[in-house]
Structure 1
Amino acid sequence: MTQHRQIHFAAHFPGVNQQTVWSHPEAGSQIEFESFRRFAQIAEAGFMDYVFLAEGLRLREQKGKLHELDVAGRPNTVGVLSALAAVTEHIGLVGTLSATFNEPADIARQLQTLNVLSNGRAGWNVVTTSNEFTGANFRRGFYLPLEERYPRAQAMVDAARRIWGTKPGDREHLVAEHGGLLDFETTGTVPSAPGEYPVFVQAGMSPQGRDFAVTNSDIIFSHYGGFEAARAFRADISERLAAKGRAADDLKVMPAMTIVLGDTEVEAKERALEIRRAQVSPQTAISYVEQVWGRDLSDYDPDGPLPTVEPIEAKAAEGWVNTYDDRFERVAKWRELAERENLSIRDIAVREYTRDEFVGTPEQVADTLIQAVDGRAADGFTLVGHLVPEGLKDIVERVIPILQERGAYRTEYPQNANLRELMDTTAAPLEQLEPAGTSA
């Protein structure tokens, strides 16, 4: 049998983006625990490494109304993961928690409590928060300037590690920092053996984010952007790891990925387009182009032509941050494309506002996954379904068995393994690898 590198999968329960199609008759609740339970148990039946939840500290607003893609009433991330620890046995439990607005003693206690209760299955996706509307929830208000976000994140991670390594209640060895980016004083809180700490995940793609990841993290959550671009990203991460004295496999690269299956390639492509159209509602399409134009475009027909007015230098709506360096160049590109192919505002949004995806038959998708991991474009993927909680069921039932047959994926969980041990699955030596087939 051809030997392949072992593929890692995480299961992302989406929350604050257009990925999930809530209007679908099979869509479940974003609030009821049954959705989270069913989602986690499907992922565990597929022997995935971990469930991944986002965090929303404040609901976004557009023109004085709540943003249509945010979920009012979604339970606290650590609370959901703690409940999932009781109804799962093996799968990791990773939560996104802001290093900008949380405080070290509290976040260390929450995460280590989850880690102890789940027998070592906890993980922290460390994020920096850039928007001022989130800061309104907190005493300090506003938000940190760009140059302070990663230094504070580093200080938070360092503080958490120190707290986890200190005996609970030991006032002779206080963990403290006063002034600067942190101001706290605490003892250790939850007992743990040395080194039994939550796994660290990082989602930054910027140079600062990459440096933070190679310094601290076990997993980096990234974009894929195509095989060659992903290989270049992985190579850059490996170089940065070497500079820190770490091996390439010390940090797993797990890009976000949507998988759409069909009995034929044509059927899969038709289904993928249908899903994208459902994900980008008329309101979402207008919201998306507003971010680029920097102005209110609510009077425009989403199924009509692109606006003829020029972009302005302003935020389109509270809570959105325009990330495009040159919006005028992007608008010109869109106008040229729209004229050439007779595309509407929504057509453009459907093309632009979508995640990376693998589309094809189960066999084609399995080939593509193996090729990506064998080719060092990724170590695995963070899977995002378009339906909650059943969105990953097709992958578990139709793709994973093929990967198992080809020796590229585990057939059972290692006995009593914690999350860090799951992520350390031994890969085949590179010299033993053979081409994995063609991509879908």
Structure 2
Amino acid sequence: MSEQRKIKLGAFLMTPGHHVAAWRFPGAEASEVLNLKFYKRLAQTAERGKFDMLFLADGYSVSDKYPEAIAQTVTVRPEPITLLSALAAVTDHVGLAATVSTTYNEPYHVARKFASLDHLSGGRAAWNVVTSANPDEAHNFNKEAHLLHSLRYERAEEFLNVVTGLWDSWEDDAFLYDKDNAAFADRSKLHPLHHKGEWFSVKGPLNVARPVQGYPVVIQAGSSEPGKELAARTAEVIFTAWQTLEEAQHFYSDVKGRLAKYGRSPDDLKIMPGVFPIIGRTEAEAEEKKALLEQLIPVEAGVSLLSQLISVDLSPYPVDGPLPDLPDLAEINGGKTRFTLLKDLAEREQLTIRQLYQRIAGARGHREIKGTPVQIADQLEEWFRGGAADGFNIMPPYLPGGLEEFVDLVVPELQRRGLFRTEYSGTTLRDHLGLRRPEHPAAFTYTASQATS
């Protein structure tokens, strides 16, 4: 391993923790899920741990298919761009990443919000591009049905092209602030988009200067075939979910192997699988935490979570029986990769519905690891050195304790092994991740004209 290659870490903050029963866990601050002081504490903990970024997921619905689960689970959280803008004021280094769907937003809104966040944070913004897997969201946006999976990706690709085009509305040095000559900006360095496509018609330009990072870092989470291809062309970070080293290695080599045809190198894309760590000062303590979390899951909440992730209503079936016969993958209009992962896990280990929801109630199909800080570090190092990951999106089981344990116990062990930074060496999220800053297209035009003159 080269001296320069270090593990990348994201703090995936699902409050008050990733486990479906996290809010019932001793020490979890369940009543603080809309309290800015709580998020400030979490963000500053992540920054104290030298994390590359913190990440907020998002969704646009509260499902009413499982009424009991609404009462038993956390269904409220702040809008992420609003929250990250506030956290930009109380942090200095940690990146600020948020999910925004391309299915239920407009490109101009998204381009403007992330460009603004990038300026307000000094170059620390990142956009997790998703197409929305939850069909319930359609009913909150004047639609009767969720857009088909293939069409969601077609829309997403055009959406992303429009957003990046809007970020290029102004050249980097377009603003002069010349009071004496009444020249605030150089109009020749303004580039309206004039986009007309299958899904969008957007004239532009954006009324925000080009982002500090050129573009905020572009993250994707899809691992389906269309998702992998879109990521190979456009993504700079992939959040993904795998259970085994072999699966993760295959995905890693597959996606990295697609980059060359788009003129990209393997270092242009960081692959960061989700990891759900249960940490104990002893193995017995870690096991006790896991057992307690499982005991705290209400049955309805567990079945509801599994039903949503697998895109099949499991409530009519015996909880201590096997999964019913599931539809073919082609019939699934939710998350196809997660459906396959959970179906394969249940079949491989012969799990009942209860056993399966207990397995995924925290990690939600991501990798669960448990043990002492040394054992946690061992498992992360194996995947990092073994060609399965460039880093990890850490999913604390409960908050704030789960994040504080990782920062105070696991990070020092990774640092001791030379696997993780001891100080930030740059100011932007691109600096942290080792990603190049995109040049404005006008720079290439200028260079080409110079070459032919």
Q: Give yes or no for TM over 0.5.
A: yes
Equivalent in 251, 254, 258 of residue 240 of structure 1: 258
Give me the CA root mean square deviation.
3.5
Aligned to 1:80: 83
**Pair 1:71–1:189, CA change in 2 (3 A):** farther
Which SS does the other structure have where 1:6 is aligned? coil
Aligned to 1:422: 432
Aligned to 1:370: 381
Equivalent in 85, 90, 104 of residue 93 of structure 2: 90
In 2, Cα distance between equivalents of 1:330 and 1:366: 24
Equivalent in 330, 350, 358 of residue 350 of structure 1: 358
How far has the Cα of 1:236 moved from its partner? 0.8
From the two aligned structures, give the one with the greater helix fraction.
2
**Structure 1 unmatched ranges of 5 or more:** 339-344, 427-440
Which SS does the other structure have where 1:186 is aligned? coil
Decide whether the 8 Å contact of 1:174 with 1:187 is kept in 2: yes
Please report the TM-score for the alignment, with normalisation by the length of structure 2: 0.80
Indicate yes or no: 2:292 matched with 1:284.
Answer: no
Aligned to 2:233: 215
Which SS does the other structure have where 1:175 is aligned? coil
Equivalent in 230, 240, 244 of residue 226 of structure 1: 244
**Pair 1:218–1:327, CA change in 2 (3 A):** closer
In 2, Cα distance between equivalents of 1:46 and 1:326: 31
Decide whether the 8 Å contact of 2:272 with 2:391 is kept in 1: yes
Decide whether the 8 Å contact of 2:68 with 2:301 is kept in 1: no
* Match runs of 1:141-152 below 5 Å: 142-152=145-155
Which SS does the other structure have where 2:377 is aligned? helix
Percent identity (aligned) = 32
In 1, Cα distance between equivalents of 2:341 and 2:409: 42
In 1, Cα distance between equivalents of 2:248 and 2:325: 32
**Pair 1:298–1:6, CA change in 2 (3 A):** same
Indicate yes or no: 2:129 matched with 1:126.
Answer: yes
Aligned to 1:22: 23
Indicate yes or no: 2:289 matched with 1:271.
Answer: yes
Amino acid at match of 1:408: L
How far has the Cα of 1:389 moved from its partner? 2.7
Amino acid at match of 2:114: L
Aligned to 2:444: none
**Structure 2 unmatched ranges of 5 or more:** 175-184, 437-453
In 2, Cα distance between equivalents of 1:202 and 1:211: 11
Which SS does the other structure have where 1:381 is aligned? strand
Indicate yes or no: 2:409 matched with 1:401.
Answer: no
* Match runs of 1:28-107 below 5 Å: 28=29, 29-63=32-66, 67-68=70-71, 71-107=74-110
How far has the Cα of 1:140 moved from its partner? 5.2
Amino acid at match of 2:28: A
In 2, Cα distance between equivalents of 1:377 and 1:222: 11
In 2, Cα distance between equivalents of 1:352 and 1:132: 21
Equivalent in 137, 140, 165 of residue 137 of structure 1: 140
Q: How many residues align?
A: 409
How far has the Cα of 1:224 moved from its partner? 2.9
In 2, Cα distance between equivalents of 1:299 and 1:10: 37
**Pair 1:93–1:143, CA change in 2 (3 A):** same
Please report the TM-score for the alignment, with normalisation by the length of structure 1: 0.82
How far has the Cα of 1:32 moved from its partner? 1.1
Indicate yes or no: 2:382 matched with 1:379.
Answer: no
**Pair 1:121–1:141, CA change in 2 (3 A):** farther
Decide whether the 8 Å contact of 1:4 with 1:374 is kept in 2: no
